Amino acid sequence: MYHGGGGGGNTRTRGGTGRRATIRLEPQLVEMIIRAAAIGEDSLADAITIGDFTSQFHGNDFSDTEHLVALQAFRDSHPVHNVMGTYCVSFTPSGTGSTARIIIFNIVANANTSSLDIFKIGTPTSTLPNDSEAQTITTRLTGYNISLSGFNDSNERKAALMSMNAFADTELDKVRGLSVVRRTNASSSTHGEDREAIGGEYNQTQHQVEIYNRGYVEGLRLAYGTNTGAILPGVVAAIFHEVGHAIAYSGIRQLGRSDSEARQRYDSARSQMRTRWPDYYSESGEGDSFTYRYENPRNVPDDQRAEYQSDLARLRETISSAESANRAYTQATESPMMISFGRTIRRLTPVTPYSKRVAEAASDDASRLAAAEEFFAEAYAVYKTYPDWLRDNRRAVYDFFSQDQHLR
């Protein structure tokens, strides 16, 4: 006779709910503006005020011409308070017969001081990797099982490789197994008419970053960074942002892996009970919904009892840990790292116009969580390209990244 007291329903809900398949919508990611500013008639004085802001130039190496270039470029802009923008300005100095120059400016409309702070970065001297450098980067990424695919244009692929190569080993390790895929546009079934405005997406289920045409508008132009010798191509804005989402999600991916592992231990313990103790143990029902029944150990012969009890204890332990691992996975709404980031950014303004818009539109818990993740992804991209700016303007967020809290 089987002891009737054991078992019970073991209906399990596996992870992989719809939320996990959620694809983040990315509007315009590239905040870079290319302006052809013809230098000529304007005087400095008539362009010194832009909207509510008075322009302030930072750095001593602005020439008069560069002041003019910057002011002409920004005069029609609509700066968002306390967020930064990157402007890659192309101009041809008049009367010299020289070719066009490109200067990168960072700009921030500082609401506290009513100043439009303009930082000159200068003309980039870095270049896209050559074939041999590209191969070296590919080898480095392969070490983390990170792959690129779908690139038809070799320069686009090189720009993506250059961007991925800007991650530290610890960061690549955090997104191990990631695929980076070049696609034309986001899916129309998910995004409809909006799809052409989307620069990239991170697909949680497939652990895949997709980069679209929008992400490659000016994607090859060397535009991001503060060291003219190490300026990164425009597509880094989309790549850093999307890899940021992968990092934000990695804690939940880890919970998913723990869930699968606990499930495997549990399945193996069940299988062992069925194989070794067919006279004392049985299951009914199928799949994730089944009931088991087992004999009370005192009814098992003395010479088998200890072993039977040990297998039974293992079954119970694996059931209990599988249930708690599954609960942790299916109930997690954000990774432990993002919970910590959420505490860090409380009351802080997001760092870019895009993340600020998302935060202002958030109206419920789910959209606030999504907005915090956009804040994270954008701040991460800024940290990777303009750490000093982040340090000066969002010290707590800078500390979060510089202390590697995003990798915990």
**Binding positions for Zn ion, 165-194, rule CB under 5 A:** none
Cα separations (Å) of 42 from 47, 53, 65, 167? 8, 19, 10, 43
Site string for Zn ion, 8-37 (x = CB under 5 A): ----------------x-x-----------
> For residues 292 and 376, which CB has a smaller minimum distance to Zn ion in the complex?
376
> For residues 231 and 371, which CB has a smaller minimum distance to Zn ion in the complex?
371
d(CA 338, CA 344): 9
The 3-state DSSP class for residue 94 equals coil
CA 10 to centroid of chain Cα atoms: 36
Q: Is 34 left (phi over 0), alpha (psi -120 to 50) or beta?
A: beta
Tokens (6 digits) for 231 = 């300026």
In the chain, the N- to C-terminal Cα span, in Å, equals 52
Kindly give, in sequence order, each residue whose CB lies less than 8 Å from that of residue 118, ignoring residues fewer than 6 positions away: 55, 56, 57, 58, 70, 74, 105, 106, 107
Residue 288 is classified by DSSP as T
Report, in Å, the least distance between residue 26 CB and Zn ion: 5
Under the criterion CB under 5 A, does residue 141 sit at the interface with Zn ion? Answer: no
Under the criterion CB under 5 A, does residue 377 sit at the interface with Zn ion? Answer: yes
> For residues 308 and 354, which CB has a smaller minimum distance to Zn ion in the complex?
354
| Among 68-76, 252-260, 357-365, 367-375, the segment contacting Zn ion (CB under 5 A) | 367-375
Q: Give how many residues touch Zn ion by CB under 5 A.
A: 4
Tokens (6 digits) for 260 = 């699968």
> For residues 156 and 374, which CB has a smaller minimum distance to Zn ion in the complex?
374
Site string for Zn ion, 236-275 (x = CB under 5 A): ----------------------------------------
Under the criterion CB under 5 A, does residue 221 sit at the interface with Zn ion? Answer: no
* Closest CB to Zn ion: residue number: 24
Report, in Å, the least distance between residue 374 CB and Zn ion: 5
Binding site for Zn ion (CB under 5 A): 24, 26, 374, 377
